[in-house]
Amino acid sequence: MTAEKFHLGWFGAFVPHGWNQPFEGTEASHRDWLDGTFHVDLARALDRACFDVLLLEDSSMVSDTYGGTSEATLARGVWAPKGDPLALAPLLTEATEHLGVSVTASTSFYPPWLLARAFSTLDHLSGGRAGWNVVTSSEDRAAQNFGLDGLPQHDERYERAEEFIDLVDRLWSSWEPDALVMDRETGVYVDHEKVHPVHFEGRYHRSRGPLNTLPAPQGRPLVSQAGGSPKGRELAARTADLVMALPKGVPAMKAYRDDIRARAAAFGRNPDDVKVMFIVSPVLGATEAEAAERFERRRQAVRDDPTGQLVGWSGSMEIDFSRFDLDEPLPAAARTNGHQSTLETFRTWAGDRTLRQAVEAYRTEAVELVGTPDSVADQMGAIAQEVGGDGFMVWSQPPTRQYVTEICDGLVPALQRRGLVRTGFSSTQLRDNLLEF
Ligand SMILES: Cc1cc2nc3c(=O)[nH]c(=O)nc-3n(C[C@H](O)[C@H](O)[C@H](O)COP(=O)(O)O)c2cc1C
């Protein structure tokens, strides 16, 4: 039986890489992240390893939720400092041939017209390899950086996002594909009858249109989405080409993918047009024992510093976790207007555990993968078969050069030997590559 192929993506962030890791000195990582060097090297490695997409997350704030001060956030470099991934993206596509680059941008802060134009331009610059990762954002602190008092309520954010995407789609298609005539004889560059204002009057957004740039090579740059609440899934099923997800364990992964596919079908879409990719952070070793030891070290680091995780969550959920006793369960009253699905997943996961026990046991990945490249490749093949596809997004926090090498030169060749992932590309565009299998 030939193996069913699945896709690989990398979920990254424009942040310092491994500044406090054993193999990456402070000086080197200080010098070569904000000038783009590290991420260009990462993109080249992923391109060589035939990853479909590098997706860059984003946020727009320096959080001071944990303990009411930015001290813990900045001392640990959690969410900040961070560069703007949209400015970085053209460097990455310029340095690569096939890799798609998807950038996170918020429907709560961008004006739709600016966003439509920026991503159309990126699609042109990259020859059809641009993606937009749609987020509604989770933090009042970020909203306040854009002159708002705070974010709209969770579900309303999704309603605004839905309308935002409709408008952006209208702007992307405001030029007919053959509007560019470039006729020397008649002296006509663009046929004005093929360029249409959109006159969009929504509940939340208005725009006259048309866009002032030519139709993007993909028509519509790839759209991805990661919100896991019912509203988030609904938006993803209606509008997204790619969904990133973090359900815990194989049965939940299968249920998540089945749910997105069913919702997509209910919107009249072909479920195969929506790829669901799961976040993983494989721990690799030359032997099983070495991998297990490295995994244990990762666990121990959390045990030694349980607050590290809580500082991150305080930022994205805007709950001050410093108020809670680590040796008591998470109070039922803890609520968020931010990442609701993350809080709910954590609450379900935690059960009766104390906060300390729950943080120690929690994992920010769909499924733990530990072993040699060959055994992890076997595990991924088995999981993909059970879940039904579509692939995995590798996440590493902090990103390190060592980890990139382990994945691209260790794990990927093992997957390729099994026929589980691609060894080349038959198309030059991101969406076509994702739809190939
Ligand atoms: C894997 C994953 C990646 C995400 N990346 C971002 C991000 O880069 N920026 C952001 O503002 N939100 C990010 N989110 C948050 C979601 O897009 C969404 O806004 C959030 O989860 C709240 O929606 P929900 O309650 O539907 O889950 C991410 C969520 C997940 C699960």
- DSSP codes, 349-387: HHTT--HHHHHHH--SSSS--EE-HHHHHHHHHHHHHHH
* pTM exceeds 0.85 for this model: yes
**137 C-beta closer than 6 A to ligand 1:** yes
Q: What does the pLDDT read at residue 31? A: 80
- Whether 296 and 290 have beta carbons less than 8 Å apart is answered as no
Per residue in 47-62, pLDDT (tens digit) is: 999 999 999 999 999 9
Question: Mean pLDDT, to the nearest integer, of 368-391?
Answer: 97
| 8-state DSSP, 321 | G
Report which ligand 1 atom has the smallest distance to the Cα of 137. 11
How far, in Å, CA of 303 to CA of 307, rounded? Answer: 9
Q: Find the range with the poorest average confidence among 203-217, 359-373, 419-433.
A: 359-373
Q: What does the pLDDT read at residue 2? A: 66
**246 C-beta closer than 6 A to ligand 1:** yes
Nearest-10 Cα torsion for 105, 108, 112, 117: -20
Report which ligand 1 atom has the smallest distance to the Cα of 232. 26
Residues 6 or more apart whose Cβ sits within 8 Å of residue 162 = 235, 238, 239
Tell me which residue of 220, 237, 253, 244 sits closest to 54, measured CA to CA.
244
CB crowding 43-70: b at 16 or more within 10 Å, else e: bbbbbebbbbbbbbbbbbbbbbbbbeeb
Q: Return the SS3 of 407.
A: helix
**126 C-beta closer than 6 A to ligand 1:** no
Nearest CA to ligand 1 atom 7: 57
Q: What does the pLDDT read at residue 1? A: 53
Q: Which of 133, 138, 229 to mutate to test the pocket of ligand 1 (most atoms within 8 A of CB)?
A: 138
**229 C-beta closer than 6 A to ligand 1:** yes
Which helix (H) or strand (E) is 100 found in, with range?
A: strand 100-106
**279 C-beta closer than 6 A to ligand 1:** yes
Nearest CA to ligand 1 atom 2: 226
Residue spans of alpha helices (H) in 240-363: 250-266, 288-304, 307-317, 340-350, 355-361
Q: What does the pLDDT read at residue 25? A: 72
Question: Mean pLDDT, to the nearest integer, of 175-194?
Answer: 97
Tell me which residue of 43, 36, 59 sits closest to 10, measured CA to CA.
43
Nearest CA to ligand 1 atom 22: 339
In angstroms, the Cα distances linking 416 to 47, 78, 287 are 14, 35, 20
- Whether 309 and 335 have beta carbons less than 8 Å apart is answered as no
Cis amide leading into 183 (omega within 30):
no
Nearest-10 Cα torsion for 120, 124, 126, 130: 20
Say which residue, 27 or 126, is predicted with more confidence: 126
Say which residue, 204 or 78, is predicted with more confidence: 204
Tell me which residue of 247, 5, 207, 230 sits closest to 116, measured CA to CA.
207
Report which ligand 1 atom has the smallest distance to the Cα of 395. 1
Q: What does the pLDDT read at residue 171? A: 98
- Residue 427 C-alpha to ligand 1 middle, in angstroms? 29
For 394, the token pair is 């590798």
Strands 200-201 and 206-207: antiparallel
For 287, the token pair is 């032997």
